[in-house]
Structure 1
Amino acid sequence: MEPITLTTDRLLLRPFTPDDTDAVYEECQDPEIRRWTVVPSPYGRSDAEFFTQRMCPEGWRDGSMYNFAVRTREDGALAGALGVNRRALSGTYEIGFWTAKERRGRGYTTEAVLCAARWAFTSLGCDRLEWRAEIGNVPSRAVALRAGFRMEGEQRSALLNKGVRRDTWVGALIPADLGLPGTVAYVPAGGVSAAP
């Protein structure tokens, strides 16, 4: 897929470029980002270069992952990162994100998640957007809840992070949660079919 840019009232979500390398490197020095995400720890400049110059462009090219630099429209600062990754099950994607330390608590990540979810549902043929976070990552869970994800439970040993398997919370958002049609009919347990 050709890389695209998404906008909200306050944010610009655009594919990462080599120009983002310094900002990604700086933000990933934050112990909270390294603790709760699967970024390498310690996080070196070569890790940032690999992410912005190889991983992100290749993901867009092969349609496996769509990583966005989340920047504020006001001053252009990096507010965070957001990725929408294709899963093995047709129509299912997973969303992940981190927020720059100085930009936390302003609602930027929730705004970015909702924007990316609408795009995934309308442009990627996504019928289920999953969110996972290690149990204990309360800020990530709060973002998912504010964005409308329904918590579906816990998964044992579902995340491999820095050589250790960890339990996760899992939640999902479906098109109907945002008032959008799906690509195929959905019949909830004990419910009535929702046509696409």
Structure 2
Amino acid sequence: MEPITLTTDRLLLRPFAPGDADAVHAACQDPDIQRWTVVPSPYGRADAEHFTRQLSPAGWQDDSMYDFAVVLRDGGALAGALGINRRTGPGTFEVGFWTAREHRGLGYTTEAVLCAARWTFTALAGDRLEWRAEAGNRPSRAVALRAGFRMEGGQRSGLVNKGVRRDTWTGALLPSDLGLPGTDTYLPAGVGRAGP
């Protein structure tokens, strides 16, 4: 897919560029980002360059993941990162994100997640956007809840982070949660069924 830029009132969600390596490297020095996300730890300058020059562009090129730099429209500072990844099964995607320490608590990440969710449901024909975070990552869960994700439970050994299997919290957002039509018909459990 050709990389695109999305906009909100306060943000630009644009593809990462090589020039973002310094800001990504600086943000990922935060122990919380290294603890709760799958970025390498320690996070070196070479990791930031690899991400901005190779990994992120490759995801757009092979249509497997769409990484966005979340940038403030006023001033251009990098507020965070957001990725939409294809999951197994048609129409299913997963969102992941981190927020630079100095931009937390201002609603930027929730705003970015909602913008990316609408794009996923319309441009990518998504019918389900999943969120997963390691159990205990309360800030990530708070963003997901504010964006309208419904918590669906947890998964034992649901992700691998730095070589360790960890339990996860899970949630999902559907097009109908945002007032959008889905690609496929959705029949919730117990609706429209006859018999026991």
| TM-score range for the pair, normalised by the shorter chain length | over 0.9
Aligned to 1:43: 43
Say which SS state the counterpart of residue 20 (structure 1) adopts: helix
Aligned to 1:172: 172
| 2:105 is the counterpart of 1:105 | yes
Deviation at residue 149 of structure 1 after TM alignment: 0.1
Aligned to 1:78: 78
Q: For 2:191 and 2:92, how far apart are their aligned partners in 1?
A: 21
Which one-letter code corresponds to 2:49 in the other structure? E
Say which SS state the counterpart of residue 165 (structure 2) adopts: strand
Aligned length: 193
When normalised by structure 2's length, the TM-score is: 0.97
Deviation at residue 191 of structure 1 after TM alignment: 2.2
Deviations 1:58-107 (A, max 9, x none): 00001000000000011110000000000111110000000000000000
Which one-letter code corresponds to 2:175 in the other structure? P
Deviations 1:82-135 (A, max 9, x none): 000001111100000000000000000000000000000000011000000000
Aligned to 1:20: 20
Say which SS state the counterpart of residue 139 (structure 1) adopts: helix
Deviation at residue 192 of structure 1 after TM alignment: 4.9
Which one-letter code corresponds to 1:44 in the other structure? G
Q: For 2:21 and 2:177, how far apart are their aligned partners in 1?
A: 35
When normalised by structure 1's length, the TM-score is: 0.97
Deviations 1:136-189 (A, max 9, x none): 000000000000000000100011000100000000000000000010101001
Deviation at residue 190 of structure 1 after TM alignment: 1.4
Say which SS state the counterpart of residue 140 (structure 1) adopts: helix
Q: For 1:54 and 1:174, how far apart are their aligned partners in 2?
A: 31
Q: For 1:50 and 1:169, how far apart are their aligned partners in 2?
A: 29
Aligned to 2:64: 64
Aligned to 2:146: 146
- Percent identity over the alignment? 75
Q: For 1:172 and 1:29, how far apart are their aligned partners in 2?
A: 29
Aligned to 1:162: 162
| 2:30 is the counterpart of 1:30 | yes
Q: For 1:192 and 1:152, how far apart are their aligned partners in 2?
A: 22
The two structures, once aligned, show a CA RMSD in angstroms of: 0.9
Q: For 1:176 and 1:55, how far apart are their aligned partners in 2?
A: 32
